[in-house]
Amino acid sequence: MSKSAESIFAMLDPAHLTDGLFKPTARSGETLINVEGFREDEPIKFEGPQLASTHQSILLAILARTARQAKEQSLIPPGDTNGIHKKQMGLLAVTGSASRQAISVLKCSPYALLLDAGMGTSSKEYVLLSKLLGELASVTIHRGNGSNATSSRLISFQHDDNQLTIGINWRLSGSISRRQNSPVSLVERRSLGNDPVTKILHAWLCAFIRLGGPLMAGEGAEIDTLIRHVWGKRPCSKDVMKNRRAAIIRAIKKINTLPGWETSIKKTHVYVRRTKQL
Q: Is 141 helix (H, G, I), strand (E, B) or coil?
A: strand
Average pLDDT over residues 62-90: 89
Predicted pLDDT of residue 4? 64
The separation between CA 35 and the C-alpha centre of its own chain, rounded to angstroms, equals: 14
Read off the pLDDT of residues 80-109 as tens digits, 9 standing for 90 and up: 888 999 999 999 999 999 999 999 999 999
Read off the pLDDT of residues 264-274 as tens digits, 9 standing for 90 and up: 999 999 999 99
Q: How far apart are CA 54 and CA 265, in angstroms?
A: 27
Predicted pLDDT of residue 168? 96
Read off the pLDDT of residues 165-175 as tens digits, 9 standing for 90 and up: 999 999 999 99
Q: Is 127 exposed, middle or buried (0-12, 13-18, 19+ CB in 10 A)?
A: exposed
Read off the pLDDT of residues 9-33 as tens digits, 9 standing for 90 and up: 999 999 999 999 999 999 999 999 9
What is the widest separation between alpha-carbon atoms in the chain?
60
Predicted pLDDT of residue 214? 95
- CA-nearest of 88, 69, 70 to 78 is 88
Cα–Cα distance list, 225 to 35, 208, 220, 244, 268 (Å): 16, 13, 10, 11, 10
Average pLDDT over residues 177-206: 92
Positive or negative torsion for Cα 51, 53, 55, 60: positive
Are residue 150 and residue 259 in the same domain, yes or no? no
The separation between CA 40 and the C-alpha centre of its own chain, rounded to angstroms, equals: 19
Are residue 32 and residue 104 in the same domain, yes or no? yes
Are residue 127 and residue 87 in the same domain, yes or no? yes
- Mean pLDDT (the chain) is 93
Predicted pLDDT of residue 186? 97
The separation between CA 186 and the C-alpha centre of its own chain, rounded to angstroms, equals: 11
Read off the pLDDT of residues 226-244 as tens digits, 9 standing for 90 and up: 999 999 999 999 999 999 9
Predicted pLDDT of residue 81? 82
In the chain, what percentage of residues exceed pLDDT 70? 97
What's the predicted TM-score (pTM) here?
0.95
Q: How many domains does the chain have?
A: 2
Higher pLDDT: 2 or 17? It is 17
Domain boundary among 135, 168, 184: 184
1 assigned to some structural domain:
no
What range does the domain containing 192 cover? Answer: 186-274
pLDDT band at 158 (very low <50, low <70, confident <90, very high): very high
- CA-nearest of 48, 63, 58 to 14 is 63
Are residue 173 and residue 213 in the same domain, yes or no? no
Q: How far apart are CA 127 and CA 132, in angstroms?
A: 9
Are residue 129 and residue 87 in the same domain, yes or no? yes
Domain boundary among 151, 184, 217: 184
Read off the pLDDT of residues 209-226 as tens digits, 9 standing for 90 and up: 988 999 999 999 999 999
229 assigned to some structural domain:
yes
Task: Say whether pLDDT at 1 is over 50.
Answer: no
